[in-house]
Structure 1
Amino acid sequence: MNGLLHLAAALDQPAAAGRPGVLDGGACAELARLAERGGLDFVTLDDSFARPGPDALGVLCRVAPATRRIGLVPTVTTTHTKPVQVQAAVATLDWISRGRAGWRIDVSATEGEARLFGRRPAAPADALWQEAGEVADVAARLWDSWEDGAEIRDVAAGRFLDGDRVHRVDFTGTAFSVRGPSTVPRPPQGHPVRVVDATDGPARAVAARYADVALVRAATPARAAEARAALREAAAACGRGPDVPRVLVSLLVDLGDGEHAAEPGHGGGGPRITAQGPLYRGGPVDLAELVAGWHAEGVTDGFHFVPVAPRRDLERLVNGTVALLQHRGLFRTFYPGGTLREHLGLARPAGRYALTGGAS
């Protein structure tokens, strides 16, 4: 028997009239509370420079005090951004949420996004993902640059921190260099959870080396198993443990307006492949059967659901599919801890500079 499932959901708003959906903090908070009621591990919120409105990380900073347990994972691109600022922003979300932050790492590949900054033209995916891996690496180093307990906050003595426990990182990558240390103390989780969509080739190497959670868009159990095995094998070659990264199948879901059997090609026979990714269209009961079946085959650690109609589908997902999976003992009925790492069964990393006493 496999362990308990990990389940997550997207809060992304549907596009209207050909334009990307604009993020709404109040609506996202309401949806996140609904997902939290179902005990989901985390929610994601996508983002790109091409989308108008507030950024996903800022919106989830608004959602953090409106929720208590659920993990909050915004997309933050590593392209056209400064690594020091990216890691500090993610660390800040971890502090605001008291250890529930994640970071969905992505790149910006279009010429239109490049023109917004004017510093360099769009680059090939391979180069962008190489840079993303370097940003993921230096982010972890910066999170570690403050040792646990480096903050003293001794007002009487006039001391805020122990300087001997704050370290430079002195990192040089292909497109940037970082001296450090971070401007933000070490996050509550040590390292906020790093998430990568590892469906496409260039992102897989980054996911294998750095991701705590890898998302794969797979339409069949065989494809899910293949992707999971490849990621685990590549992670092992990087010296990582046997159970990382956690691999979740990312699935578009359209649960409709009433209980009905899954449409041919969508439900028990497997999701249908679309331009946006694998799509399940059917009722919550049939979705629970699909999830339970893939879980029984041991091909995935869980699922990341992307509702087609967020408010409708997430409510039916929580009240129908998740409730059935809980009844079968396949998904937990309460949060085992307070941090996203605890939800995922991931240990809090030790600070590298606390172990070595200096930069590495």
Structure 2
Amino acid sequence: MSDNPELLVGIEFAGTGAHPASWRRDDSRAEEIFTGGYWADLVGAADRAGADLAFLPDTFGETAAQGAVRGRLEAVGVAARLSAVTSRIGLIPTATVTHTEPFHVAKAIQSLDHTTRGRAGWQVAVSGGLEQAELFGRKAAQDEASLWSEADEATEVAQRLWDSWDDDAEIRDVATGRFVDREKLHYIDFAGEHFSVKGPSITPRSPQGRPPIAVSVDGERSLAFAAARADVVRISAPDVRAAAALADEVRTRAGERRPAVLLDVDVLLASENAVAAVDLARLDEWSGSEYRSNSVLHHGDPESLVNLLTELRGIDGVVLRPLALASTLELLTTRVIPALRPAPRPATTVRDLLGLTRPRSRYATTH
């Protein structure tokens, strides 16, 4: 058993796995990735095993790797499907803000928070480059400063919309025919460089009030956003020592906010260390290039991964990114997670899991 039972364990569910050739494995279930059953089976298994968070990545672009899976389902939609087949795990889909309206994103995440009874989060992402801009045709490509400035505004708009209904705005007064107290719905009247949104939301305030914000740090702009906005910060680092140093920097810049810092770890598991090495070599041969991770890369048997995770210090948890999703997840759920903690944590909201209080609406009236 781990001597660090408070370590948060997240898993990223990306296609058939993070390795671009993972779909070529006989056990990849690649023929199912555009079905609801595939995601329900995998995330459901992680939920029952006691994983804390399920990250559902999304992007408007396609991977550049030759021979990789093409096409993807929309992450928030997948999370909505999963809300009916999970009971503990936090669902954190990626929703890109660059070519979408914050009103729609806010409503989608808020709806997910309702259907999961407080198990929703939102990973904020941006979409750079001309190719992705041309997919939409709404505006020109933006530089990094503009992308993250827009993301900051979009997040502010979303959080204001989440606050725009008081918790007791629904009165359902049959005698008078009033479903809501209109005085407890509030215009947000946001006007910024990128958005002008009057509000209020059309969705009642959700169980968490404000679903937690997550972001992956990959540069100075995203780091600044993380320090100012994020409740969950995903970092990449080549080793444990570098991860602890980057986590310290995030916390220093975030000040009193104290977000949870999770280290991304790319993982390929097999029954034995030697088998995992052969499996990785085969994937690399299929793809025509060596897999290069932007963070810690671990391949081996389940016990070797448990040893790595129990040695981690200076971070709040990990996001395990299986290179081959179906096969690695089976070992994560049967041999890794059970070794890290004696039993799944009780069902709770994501905010409670992160030690965050439920915020009061900034617009709430006192009468």
With normalisation by structure 2, the TM-score equals 0.85
Instruction: Kindly state the Cα deviation for residue 273 of structure 1 after the two structures are TM-superposed.
Output: 8.8
Q: Classify the secondary structure of the residue corresponding to 2:357.
A: coil
Task: Answer with 175-184 or 347-356: which moved more.
Answer: 347-356
Q: Does 1:314 align with 2:329?
A: yes
Task: Answer with 340-349 or 140-149: which moved more.
Answer: 340-349
With normalisation by structure 1, the TM-score equals 0.87
Q: What's the CA shift string for 1:185-238, capped at 9, x where partnerless?
A: 1111111121100232211111111111000011212211121111111111xx
Instruction: Kindly state the Cα deviation for residue 156 of structure 1 after the two structures are TM-superposed.
Output: 3.0
Q: Classify the secondary structure of the residue corresponding to 1:43.
A: strand
91 and 49 in structure 1: CA distance in 2 versus 1, 3 angstrom threshold: same
Distance 1:31 1:111 in 2: 34
- Computed over aligned residues only, the root mean square deviation of the Cα atoms, in angstroms, reads 2.4
Q: What's the CA shift string for 1:53-86, capped at 9, x where partnerless?
A: 4311011111110111111111100101111111
Q: Residues 1-360 of structure 1 correspond to what in structure 2 (within 5 A)? A: 4-14=6-16, 15=20, 23-50=34-61, 52-236=71-255, 240-241=256-257, 244-256=258-270, 258-260=271-273, 274-294=292-312, 298-327=313-342, 333-354=343-364
**AA of the residue aligned to 1:7:** V
Q: Classify the secondary structure of the residue corresponding to 1:58.
A: helix
Question: Which one scores higher on RCO, CA 8 angstroms, separation ≥ 6?
Answer: 2
Distance 2:9 2:166 in 1: 32
Distance 1:199 1:283 in 2: 29
**AA of the residue aligned to 2:94:** T
Task: Answer with 3-12 or 336-345: which moved more.
Answer: 336-345
User: How many residue pairs get matched?
Assistant: 335
Distance 1:178 1:114 in 2: 22
**AA of the residue aligned to 1:210:** R
Distance 2:159 2:175 in 1: 33
Distance 2:262 2:366 in 1: 34
49 and 247 in structure 1: CA distance in 2 versus 1, 3 angstrom threshold: same
Distance 1:70 1:201 in 2: 30
Identical-residue share of aligned pairs (%): 40
Distance 1:343 1:273 in 2: 33
Q: What's the CA shift string for 1:210-268, capped at 9, x where partnerless?
A: 111000011212211121111111111xxx33xx2100001110013x133786xx9xx
Instruction: Kindly state the Cα deviation for residue 18 of structure 1 after the two structures are TM-superposed.
Output: 10
Q: Classify the secondary structure of the residue corresponding to 1:35.
A: helix
**AA of the residue aligned to 1:247:** V
Instruction: Kindly state the Cα deviation for residue 158 of structure 1 after the two structures are TM-superposed.
Output: 0.7
Contact 1:24 1:59 in 2 (8 A): no
Q: Classify the secondary structure of the residue corresponding to 1:73.
A: strand
Distance 1:42 1:210 in 2: 19
Q: Classify the secondary structure of the residue corresponding to 1:215.
A: strand
Aligned to 1:330: none
Contact 2:237 2:294 in 1 (8 A): no
**AA of the residue aligned to 1:282:** G
Contact 1:23 1:56 in 2 (8 A): no
Runs of 5+ unmatched residues, structure 1: 267-271, 328-332
Q: Classify the secondary structure of the residue corresponding to 1:75.
A: strand
Distance 2:194 2:366 in 1: 27
Q: Classify the secondary structure of the residue corresponding to 1:314.
A: helix
Distance 1:156 1:128 in 2: 50
17 and 65 in structure 1: CA distance in 2 versus 1, 3 angstrom threshold: closer
Runs of 5+ unmatched residues, structure 2: 25-29, 63-70, 281-289
Contact 1:255 1:282 in 2 (8 A): yes
356 and 153 in structure 1: CA distance in 2 versus 1, 3 angstrom threshold: closer
Contact 2:110 2:205 in 1 (8 A): yes
Instruction: Kindly state the Cα deviation for residue 304 of structure 1 after the two structures are TM-superposed.
Output: 0.4
17 and 280 in structure 1: CA distance in 2 versus 1, 3 angstrom threshold: closer
Contact 1:219 1:273 in 2 (8 A): no
100 and 343 in structure 1: CA distance in 2 versus 1, 3 angstrom threshold: same
**AA of the residue aligned to 2:58:** D
